Amino acid sequence: MSKPCHFHVLITAAGIGSRFESQSGLPKQYHQIGDKTVLAHTIEAFNDIDCDIVMVTTHPDDKWWPEIKFQSKQLVKSCIGGSSRKQSVINGLLAIKEKAQDTDWILVHDAARPCITPDDINRLINAVKSHAVGGLLVKPVTDTIKKSTDKSHCQTTIDRDQLFAALTPQMFRLGDLLHHLQQADDDKTTDEASAFEQAGKLPLMVLGNCQNIKITYPSDLALAHFYLQQQGRL
């Protein structure tokens, strides 16, 4: 008789945040929002989720992770990430795989998305856990989208009715995710769902909360602070 499947969280925190342009050289996941780092808020967002482990991928030269403080109800471990998002996730999956089954579910989440809510996480889990492929949180694109080949002049407007912005977490079975990431084209794999798309699979889209922003620029910290206050987490 096979063992029941379990849930695991993989938080990707191996990036250096080149677009964040921090004068101090501090990666964005270690900047403060209130009295906690971005990464601490992200880890704590999964406190009420029924999962076996939270695995955090870190940069080989990360000197801040050993000093980070957070209050987690989960078992939190870390492993060294890779030179790309794809390789970091593969490394994290291999670390989780040591004590997990291929049929276990993995929720991959960006360290720079601290405003994810338990409601969104549970909505994703409930929608995807019976799906054959897996799925991800998304939000409809609401801005008018322009196409430009020279990045200076707009040439055409793209119909946004069929466009959605990919969010995280993205949820797939461990064995499937590892296989498709290892087979996927590096340049085309910007998130986990794209690896499945390349294999002809159709991940399920689950509408997420617009507060689930990704911190990319310093100005995003203030907005994240506001959202976390609204959620009662500050």
pLDDT tops 90 at residue 5:
no
Output the pLDDT for position 18. Answer: 55
Each residue's pLDDT tens digit, 176-202: 999 999 999 999 999 999 999 999 999
Distance from C-alpha of 102 to C-alpha of 83, rounded to nearest angstrom: 24
* pTM (2 d.p.): 0.94
Asked whether residue 2 carries a pLDDT value surpassing 80, the answer given is: no
What pLDDT, in 10s, does the model give residues 196-225? Answer: 999 999 999 999 999 999 999 999 999 999
Q: State what percent of residues in the chain have pLDDT above 70.
A: 95
> Between 18 and 172, whose confidence is greater?
172
In the chain the domains, ranked by start, together with CATH numbers, are 7-230 (3.90.550.10)
Q: Is 68 helix (H, G, I), strand (E, B) or coil?
A: coil
Q: What distance in Å separates the CA atoms of residue 182 and residue 203, rounded to the nearest whole number?
A: 17
Two tokens at 97?
A: 């795989």
DSSP bridge partners of 8: 53, 106
- What is the three-class DSSP state of 90? helix
Helix, strand or coil for residue 201?
coil
Q: Report the Cα 24 to chain-centroid distance in Å.
A: 25
Q: In this structure, which long-range contacts are made by residues 117-123, counting pairs with CB atoms below 8 Å and at least 24 apart in sequence?
A: 117/45, 117/209, 117/211, 117/212, 117/231, 118/45, 118/48, 118/49, 119/209, 120/208, 120/209, 120/212, 121/45, 121/46, 121/49, 121/169, 122/49, 123/206, 123/208
In angstroms, the CA 67 to CA 12 distance is 18
Q: Report pLDDT digits (tens) over 152-178.
A: 999 999 999 999 999 999 999 999 999
- Burial of residue 186, with CB atoms counted within 10 A of its CB: 0-12 exposed, 13-18 middle, 19 or more buried: exposed
Q: What's the confidence (pLDDT) of residue 21? A: 53
Q: What is the pLDDT of residue 1?
A: 45
> What does the angle CA 26 – CA 108 – CA 147 come to, to the nearest 5 degrees?
75
Q: What is the pLDDT of residues 55-94, one digit of tens each?
A: 999 999 999 999 999 999 999 999 999 999 999 999 999 9
pLDDT at residue 109 above 90?
A: yes
- Give the residue-averaged pLDDT of 109-113: 97
pLDDT at 4 over 90: no
Checking if the pLDDT of 19 tops 60, the result is: no
Q: pLDDT band at residue 15, thresholds of 50, 70 and 90? A: confident
Q: How does pLDDT run across 112-143, given as a tens digit for each residue?
A: 999 999 999 999 999 999 999 999 999 999 99
Cα–Cα distance measured from residue 150 to residue 165, given in angstroms and rounded to the nearest whole number: 23
Q: Give the pLDDT score at 132.
A: 96
Distance of alpha carbon 56 from the chain centroid: 11
Mean pLDDT, rounded, for 41-51: 96
